[in-house]
Every structure is written in C-alpha cells, then in structure tokens.
Amino acid sequence: MFSVALLLLLAAGCVKCEQLTQPASVTVQPGQRLTITCQVSYSVSSYYTAWIRQPAGKGLEWIGMEAVGYTTYYKDSLKNKFSIDLDSSSNTVTLNGQNVQPEDSAVYYCARYDAFDYWGKGTTVTVSSGTSTPPTVFPLMQCGSGSGATVTLGCLATGFTPSSLTYSWSKGGTPLTDFIQYPAVQKNNVYTGVSQIQVRRQDWDARQTFQCVATHAAGNGQADIVKPNVVYKLPTLKVFASSDEDEEEAAFSCFATDFSPNSYKIKWLKNGEDFNNQTDKIETTSVERTDANGTKVYSTASFLRVKSSEWSPSTEFTCLFEGKGKNGIPAFKNSSVVYKGNTVECPGCFEKDVEIEISGPSTKDLFSNNKGSLVCTVQIDEASFIKMWWEDDNNKELVGTTEVAVKIKKNRFSLTLDISYEEWSRGIKRYCFVEHSALVVPIKELYERKIETLSETNIQWICITEEDNMAVAAVTFILLFLITLLFTIVTTFFKIK
C-alpha cells in the first residue's frame, strides 16, 4: 500500500513539473542589441520569472525579474543595460540587452521565482567582432576495454570561434539526451569544447554507430564513433648486429613491422635470460599505416648498445616481442643474433648477398691522360637496391663521373669515380658505399693503391721504350738515305757511258 502511495505521489509531482525553454546559443557583435526569449509552461501572470547570468569562470549574477501586474526588479548596476518583456498570451519572457560588449559574454538562465525551483538549460551568449570559424570534431573513446556495463565516449570540438556551441548525440538516428557538455575553453583566440556520454556496453560491443554533432553558427561538425574491428597480428621481426673496428662495443637492432593492435613490449635476452643491463636501450615510437586490406598496422624498432664486457664470441642476443592476442591473451615472437667476433650470424641478414668489387685505373690511362677511373660494381641478390656513392678519408661524399649508379644488368650496378695521377701516386683512399632496404647501415668497400714502386718502374720503362724507338727510327732513316744515294750514283754512271 505504501509503495502504491509513493508511486502516486511521484506521478503527481511529475504533473506539476514546469518547463523553461530557451535557445542554446546566441552570438552578437559588440554594440548591438541582445535578445533572448524564454518559453515557460506556467502563467507569467502567476509567477515571477528571473534572468540570471554566469560569465566564464565566475559566479552567478542576478539581472532582474518580472511578472504581469507586479513590480519589476533589476540589479542596480544592470538596470540601464537590460530590460524584461512579458507576453501573457504566449507565456514568453524576453531579456533585452542594450549596447552589449565582450564582457557581457556569459551563460544566461531564465528561472521561476521565488524558490528558483525550475530553470532553463541556459543560453550561451558570445559578444565578439571576430570572424566565425566552424569546429573540427574528433571522436573519443575510453582506453582499454573495461568491464562495466557502460562505455564512455567523447566528442572533441576544436578551433571554433565564437564560443557558442552545442552538442547532440544519437544512436542509429535515435536521439540520446543523457550526456554532459563542458564549457568551451579559449586558447590562441579559438575555442575547444568537449562532450561525453555513457552508452550501453552491449550496444558498443554490437558495433552500433554513435554520432556526435557539434552545432555552431559558422557551421556544424560531426563524428561517427564505432567500436574498432581489432585485428590481431604478430609482426615480422628482424634482428641485426654490428660492432666497431676495435670490437669495444656492439650494436643490436630489432625491427618489428606490421603488427596489430598497437599494444606491445620489447625486451632483450642474453643467451635466453633477461638482459638487465639495458641502460643504452632506445625504442622508437610506433608508426601507423594502412595496409592493402585497409587494416591499420604498426611498426617500431628497438636498439641496444652493449659493451665488450657484456659479450663474448658465440653470445646470443634475442629480441622478444610481446603483443596482444585475442581475449587479452599475450602473444610472443622472437628473433636472435649470435655474435662471433668480427662475424655475426643473424637469420635474415643480407650482407652476405651483397658483393662489392672495385677496379682501379689502368696504367695506360694514368700516363696517357694523367687520370683514370675507379669503377665500383655491386651484385645484389635480394631486396631492393637504393643507391651508391663515393666518400674520401674525411667522410666527405664525392661527386662521381656518373652521378647515379648505372644498372649493368639484372641485380648488378656500377658507379664510376675519376682519380688523377697525382691522387693515385699519393696512395689516397676512396670508399664505395652501397645502401639497400635490407641493410641496417650501408656497407662500404675500400680502394687503396698497394704497389708503391709501380709509378717509377712504369715511367722508366716508358722512357726506355721511347729512347729505343727513336734510335731505331734514326738508323732506318740513315739506311734509306744511303740506299737512295747509291741508286743515284749507279744511274748516273750508266748514263755517262
């Protein structure tokens, strides 16, 4: 009996509910007239209706109140700026503002007096002479799946001006009213606003579409929010290693490409055990891309520097990738590299598939033209070739005779560099670098002249050869002259006889 009586009382209370309806936002220019109309469900002859405003970051400020047939009251400091009009036929209460200025920007509320028991939702008034800019809207969703019966979604509107903006939410075209809208915040002369709503988890898990619309005087923005279709995929994992010439330090690189979702951990193991000394570990931020199937996948890399005291020949370093599998179950993948002194065993390394040869200048070119050519030829069996270049002892890139590598035949490229006789005779060093997609760092090949006495020997040989040739030519000329002279004497003798 008590429960029935309580329900009747609640029902009776709802019958007495009043409504005050006012616009969500109004924008006016400085010096213009402000007009806000409040539609009420009660008689404006029976109750006072008051107007109250609240500037951003400040408290409530009472403006005035009025009822038909009763005395009108205003705040003394505002009575020359605002006036209130009543229309008993339509039960509307209108607030009029004269010569409004930016400091009059606020949220204006109409409320029933004297208990202030019923309020309107408020009208955001913006007084600004600036150019109106529509909002850019972004969807927001909570991090992690959570376990409650509801999921929190959000809607972020940025870059709009003036500040007057209202949100609305819907699910599959059906309006949703139980949401929160926070006041806009100004930064760099534009505004940012946020709204959030809680939706049923079963609707979210069913991948129903929720739509947020930000309504603004300069134009509306909207965002559709649907639970992402998560793809679980482990990465392609490659590990590389290198060391300096003195083998005082080794560097290990781990590349994890095309995994999903973007939830992972990478750690290094030494001979199968956790490697705790990882002070020189660097991990990049994951990079997102969309693959051919339209799936968002991610890639990242981890780099580890190890002092010589931490490894010895045959030490194995393993990159262990921990990703996220279905139902939150961790998924793992690993790849290892074995360090053996100056050589490294690493599955997937491509150094063995890149062959570089440098051919030096010919002696004929050096002594005939006072210069020659260095030709760097590379044979690549796998992956894709990127580029080649030459450098000197000071790591300065040199311009080659051919600016870019020339493809000789399939998977074979060459790059030519001029070298003068003077450079060659001094025994200068030149490095040919090759870069392609399978290499962590470019590989290089050194050219250096080995035989120091070659130039003097060749010069002496050439000089001797030239002297011998001159002697032979002189003897030949004398013999021809004597034969010609003898022939002339004999001919003359026969003519005299």
Q: What is the pLDDT of residues 179-223, one digit of tens each?
A: 999 988 988 888 999 999 999 999 998 999 999 999 998 899 999
Q: Give the model's pLDDT for residue 457.
A: 39
0.85 surpassed by pTM: no
Domain 236-348 has CATH 3.30.300.180: no
Q: What does R_g of the chain's alpha carbons equal in angstroms?
A: 44
Least confident of 119-123, 237-241, 453-457: 453-457
Q: How far apart are CA 411 and CA 406, in angstroms?
A: 11
**pLDDT tens digits for 203-212?**
998 999 999 9
Segment 216-264, tens digit of pLDDT: 988 999 999 998 888 889 999 999 887 766 667 888 899 999 999 999 9
- 214 Ramachandran zone, left/alpha/beta (phi>0; psi -120 to 50): beta
pLDDT tens across 466-475, in order?
A: 444 555 555 5
**448-461: average pLDDT:** 50
Q: Which of 404, 353, 345 is nearest to 376 (CA)?
A: 404
Res. 115: pLDDT tops 90: no
For residue 52, the model assigns a pLDDT of: 97
Distance, in Å, from the CA atom of 242 to the CA atom of 251, rounded to the nearest integer, reads 5
* Start-to-end CA span in the chain (Å): 177
Q: Per CATH, which fold does 18-127 belong to? A: Immunoglobulin-like (2.60.40)
pLDDT band at 160 (very low <50, low <70, confident <90, very high): very high
* 315 confidence band (pLDDT: 50, 70, 90): confident
Report CA-CA distances (Å) from 449 to 185, 226, 360, 374, 478: 71, 68, 8, 11, 45
pLDDT higher than threshold 60 for residue 376? yes
Return the CATH number of the domain spanning residue range 136-225.
2.60.40.10
How many whole angstroms separate alpha carbon 105 and alpha carbon 129? 12
Domain-wise residue ranges, the chain: 18-127, 136-225, 236-348, 352-447
More confident residue, 134 or 345: 134
Q: How far apart are CA 51 and CA 110, in angstroms?
A: 5
Q: 201: which 2 tokens?
A: 């988890």
Q: Return the CATH architecture of domain 352-447.
A: Sandwich (2.60)
Average pLDDT, the chain: 82
Question: Would you tell me how many other CB atoms lie within 10 Å of the CB of residue 133?
Answer: 17
Q: Which whole number is the average pLDDT over 336-352? A: 58
- For residues 413-434, average pLDDT: 89
